[in-house]
Amino acid sequence: MNTASATKTGSLASPATDTDPVCGMTVQADKAAARTQHAGKLYLFCSTHCQHQFETNPQKYIGTATAASDHGMPMQTALRRAAQGQAKDPICGMVVDKATALRTDRGGRSYYFCSVGCQRTFESPEQELKSMRTRVAIALTGVLALAIMRAGAFIALATGATIITWVPIPALPWFTWGMWLFLLVTPVQFIGGWSFYKGSWNALRNRAINMDLLIALGTSVAYLYSVAVLFFPSVLPVKVEERDVYFEVSAVIIAFVLLGKYMEEIIKKHSSAAVRKLLDLKPATAQVVRDGVEMEVPAESVMVGETVVVRPGQRIATDGLVLEGASAVDESMLTGESMPVEKVTGAKVIGGTLNRTGSFRFQATRVGAETALAQIIKMVEDAQTSSAPIQRIADQVTRYFVPAIVGTAVLAFAGWWVAGNFPQGLLAFIAVLIIACPCALGIATPAALMVGVGRGAQAGILIRGGEILEKAQKLDTVVFDKTGTLTRGEPNITDVLLQPEWTKEQALRLAASLEAGSEHPLAEAIVRGAREAGVAPAPVEEFDSVPGHGVQGRVDGTPLLLGNRRLMQREGVDISHVQSDMERLEADGKTAMLLASGGRLVAVIAVADTVKPEAKEAVAALRAEKVEVVMLTGDNQRTAAAIGRLLGIDRVIADVLPSDKAKVIKNLQAQGRVVAMVGDGVNDAPALATADIGIAIGSGSDVAKETGGIILVRSDVRDVVAGIRLSRATMRTIKQNLFWAFIYNSIGVPIAALGFLNPIIAAAAMALSSLSVIVNSALLRRVKLDQA
């Protein structure tokens, strides 16, 4: 392949930013880890690994590079397009070719695995854990037997019983100390340690080097050297005796590492249960009506448009609309909302939720991979197997670290051998390989992502990936769209100021009678308010709409007026005594309407888009986190300022068209701010995509279509704070994990190379290092998300 580095004078100019054609990540030209010129075009890469992949087969990636760089394309879409023919193992995170990988289909989606072990772990986690428990038991039994033998030998020496006279030792040439060790350790090496050999083979087949390879290499050297000492001592370059075997070293290393991995798996099983719980939500069967007959069918076979019957205690098979009946449905697993949601005719239902009380029938509107549950599962899985940009540091270090460690181990061995101490060189070689296993480094980010993203999913907060987490720690500005986010999104009656001798019910009856036939939002608010108060409108005669003024008509023969000041002035109705009340209501951002009957004022009715009760609490919590809050709205400045005062928001940007919201975000970013945009994910999509972090508020089956980096399943804006808090906590944990993993390896390798670290101690330390990373990540499950 003819590729040229584009770093020389006269090479193609680098774009300011480009998309890595291999992984789909956005790369800044001045921070690109590598670059390559191909077919007259310059490509930027996030790492030398991606550069090597591209140079090996550029045609595989050229088509996807252009697609992934389309303006406005979300990162996850780019990643999916870039990975043509490839997938990530959901268990270990390894990238595999779909054509050769093992596959399992579940919930309308295909999962690909690098090995049978990963596939079994996904399909039957309990069975795989049981299998690992068996391997751990074999390894620990062998080590325990070795310990008993060693203790027996010491006791024999201490009592002087060095020779057991009744055993015919000369007639038993194989009855030696080395032979007993060989017999005890061999099952440990090849049964207990089989997973390391299998993992090594899979890694080499995928052109990677992982911790399994280092463990297998280190223990195999110790074991095979001991076998040579025992059976073929003449082939060794130095003279050794049978007591110089290292069978025990090999066995104890395998036992320690297996025990550590087993404990890790137990913690992972509890920490990464979010996706498993979501997968288990979907029922196996559903009751559908076909040809007028109700029958039980597999849930996967339900088709769009079919009628599904749900009874108390059953899980809903798929998404749909209620046709008849009523019930209360528990949606807590998907939305985090603890209270059951009432479902009546026309209401949406979500597949996987639990029907509590009544029975109903619904029409299936989405099935398989299109359901909200399937899309949420996909989002959570994509986020858990994604990489934060900070992980590139660990990936690049590991890529060079492992070969360097093997080289260091060889040099340590050679150095000790030249110094005349072959056994010490062998021990140093094994200790370096074991202590340097980058397992803690490799799981530092995935472990935290798995727990953090799973914790968020359980609370109804979906985080799309590691890149979002990394940006969240720098967040200093949150921009809210007002309508539907901070407010309910529909006007409601807020005040009814009555004149003497009139009641609220009388005023609402007259106002609703005039507005009953109108579709104007303010009219709908009045009619809805009357209905909620239990007041029915009366028939209206001589109805007339006066453009720019209001409406008029007769109820029970009495002329009625409902409108603004101009209408009252035109009809000669005295409103001077309520002018101050009108001004006060309007200063609060409310629309004040005047109701008159028979030429006399009856009431002032104020209508406004009411603020969500939790919005003020969310704003206060953000300010406590030292985040500036900005409100965007298309309302006029006076109304917007009133809402801002009510919520405690100092910076309000009013009269903003939907198409201009993205410009506001860009202006804030130009001031050096890291901006999150909070909106409903539909009209606000351009602004959500432009912001550093888009936070989309959605509910039900539309949630998976939002364009935000963080998606709040519930419409509770307090979850904005919870999402930011969770993101920061997850990122903080990733940094802690990486720090301790780096320190651990940096200190341990030189000590091992100099011969000051026994391989057995190295194995224990390595296992504890990995375990500490898992435990630290598991603590994310306890992060406080509520706003109390």
Residues designated as active site: 481
User: Taking CA 197 as the corner, what is the angle to CA 193 and CA 202, rounded to the nearest 5 degrees?
Assistant: 140
Whose structure tokens read 């580095």? 5
User: For residue 364, which amino acid is it?
Assistant: A
Using alpha carbons, select from 277, 269, 367, 272 the residue that is nearest to residue 318: 367
Whose structure tokens read 């309990």? 126
Using alpha carbons, select from 303, 304, 337, 325 the residue that is nearest to residue 314: 325
For residues 649 and 62, give the distance between their C-alpha atoms in angstroms, rounded to a whole number: 48
Using alpha carbons, select from 501, 458, 526, 504 the residue that is nearest to residue 270: 458
Q: Kind and range of the H or E element at 72?
A: none
Contacts (Cβ under 8 Å, ≥6 apart) of 420: none
For residues 166 and 157, give the distance between their C-alpha atoms in angstroms, rounded to a whole number: 17
For residues 369 and 107, give the distance between their C-alpha atoms in angstroms, rounded to a whole number: 7
Terminal CA-to-CA distance of the chain, rounded, Å?
61
3-state secondary structure string across 579-639: HHHHHHHHHCCCEEEEEEECCEEEEEEEEEEEECCCHHHHHHHHHHCCCEEEEECCCCHHH
For residues 309 and 323, give the distance between their C-alpha atoms in angstroms, rounded to a whole number: 10
Question: Hey, what are 111's tokens?
Answer: 């999962």
**CB-based contacts of 98-102 (< 8 A; 24+ apart in sequence):** none
Whose structure tokens read 């028979």? 598
Question: Hey, what are 468's tokens?
Answer: 């979002």
Question: Hey, what are 8's tokens?
Answer: 């020389």
For residues 599 and 582, give the distance between their C-alpha atoms in angstroms, rounded to a whole number: 19
For residues 115 and 405, give the distance between their C-alpha atoms in angstroms, rounded to a whole number: 26
